[in-house]
Amino acid sequence: MNLDPDLKRLAALEGFFALRTGRPRPRTGRPPLPTLAEVYATPGVTAVPDRAAPDRAASDRITSGHEEIDPLTFRVRKVVRLLAAPETRVGVSVAQQGFAARLWSVALGSAVLYGRVPDLDPRLLHWDADGSAPDDLWLSEVRALPGDAATIRRLVHHGHLAPLSAALRARHPVAAGLLWGNAASALASTARLLDGRAAAHGRTDVRDHVRALTAELLDHPDLRDTGNWDGTAFRRRSCCLYYRVPGGGVCGDCCFTQAPRSSLTDPSG
């Protein structure tokens, strides 16, 4: 089955699966949304000190005085503020994991629904750093590609997650292992959602397809040692640091069973 022009079947899954198509709507008084290729290539501003949350004014707009805030820096500062995170790298981690889940959802969901995936070339995807799904990403042109693991890996892993990691680490002192652990966790979570939907409709063939695709995608040097994948269960070997957020705890796939008490414990690599 080929892709429908507006990806309506994908949008019906809602949440992170939905993807806007066409040119982004003009924003009054604001510049056009950049492509992700532009975002990854844009140099960042000086990083916020690791233990100092940015002020509200700086994180509520793309420009702060004469300082131009690039989209990634803006996104991280916004997440830090919303979570009241005590460290900037917590915001980096949460922002990156959410973005990884967004991309895996679009790709894996399309592969399962259509047997094809849209071309997610960073030059075709426009991103609103201040937006949320489904209005954060706009695919300017729908081009159908094979829905196999190799294509998904090329589009998401190499096309987005690798340059995203590099761009974030150029701005902030965050471990590469933490970010790849986040990417694997986001993929596993996406697979569980799709597996659950398929189970609810008695589609064992779809469940098998989801599990096979996910296992193949996780079998890459960047992801292979990030955790253990069994069926749809995933236990990671690193921590996304969410437990450091006020009121936060450990995630279901965390390497910890409860939040560490010592601030010296740092399983971020």
Q: Write out the two tokens for 222.
A: 């960047």
Is residue 167 included in any domain, yes or no?
yes
Q: Can you tell me the distance from the alpha carbon of 63 to that of 65, in angstroms, rounded to the nearest whole number? A: 6
Is residue 269 included in any domain, yes or no?
no
Q: What is the pLDDT of residue 66?
A: 36
Is residue 226 included in any domain, yes or no?
yes
Is residue 252 included in any domain, yes or no?
no
Q: What is the mean pLDDT of each run of 10 residues along the chain (269 residues)?
A: 90 94 80 94 64 42 53 96 94 96 98 97 96 94 97 98 97 94 96 95 96 96 92 85 80 72 51
Domain limits at 147? 10-24+32-244
Q: What is the pLDDT of residue 56?
A: 41
Q: Write out the two tokens for 20.
A: 């806007």
Is residue 5 included in any domain, yes or no?
no
Omega before 134 within 30 of 0, i.e. cis: yes
Q: What is the total count of domains within the chain?
A: 1
Is residue 97 included in any domain, yes or no?
yes
pTM of the model: 0.87
* 106, amino acid identity: V
Is residue 41 included in any domain, yes or no?
yes
Q: Write out the two tokens for 60.
A: 């509520």
Q: Write out the two tokens for 260.
A: 């560490």
**Which of 177, 7, 36, 214 shows the shortest CA–CA distance to 120?**
36
Contact 165/179 with Cβ under 8 angstroms? yes
Is residue 198 included in any domain, yes or no?
yes
